[in-house]
Amino acid sequence: MTTIRLITKINAPIQTVFNLARDIDFHQESTAQSNEKAIAGRTSGLIELGETVTFRGKHFGFYLKHQSKITEMEIPNYFVDEMIKGQFKYFHHEHTFVTQNGLTVMVDFLQYKVPFGLFGKLFNKLLLKKHLENFLLKRNEMLKSLAEKQ
């Protein structure tokens, strides 16, 4: 199992940050580098508890689909998206939001398992983990920028 944990401090109200983090339209804008498009389930607006979304995006030269479901939500502090269908053996992404010293602290806690045995583990070590970290960091930078402008 691989774990990625990112902390982003944002000078904006917690509700603003929470809503941007679950906004399908914002997700598509912030992931333009991989041409992410919501193609099924909730395809725009704010995703809610129990809803699914299927994204199609280009990663490592291939168009891939990833379907997630929001399995937990506590507004405006926490939500979890979990993969239902996709390329991973397991994918669990916790989004936590707290207010500290007038800032909103957003924590991404992502855990995943790769398929394909030894080849998958090698691919993860050499390319995938860094790709996912950069994907989240870029998205978080854009979220921070937009939230702080509102």
What's the predicted TM-score (pTM) here?
0.94
Pick the CATH number of 2-149 from 3.50.50.60, 3.40.50.620, 3.30.530.20, 3.30.70.100: 3.30.530.20
- In the predicted structure, residue 33 carries a pLDDT above the cut 90: no
User: 44-63 pLDDT, tens per residue?
Assistant: 999 999 999 999 999 989 99
**For the chain, what is the total number of helices (H) and then of strands (E)?**
4, 7
- Interatomic CA distance for residues 47 and 69, integer angstroms: 9
Instruction: Compute the Cα dihedral for 9, 11, 15, 21 and give only its sign.
Output: negative
Using alpha carbons, select from 40, 43, 45, 2 the residue that is nearest to residue 20. Answer: 45
Question: Is there a contact between 29 and 88 (Cβ–Cβ < 8 Å)?
Answer: no
Asked whether 145 and 22 are in contact (CB, 8 A), the reply is no
The ranges assigned to domains in the chain are 2-149
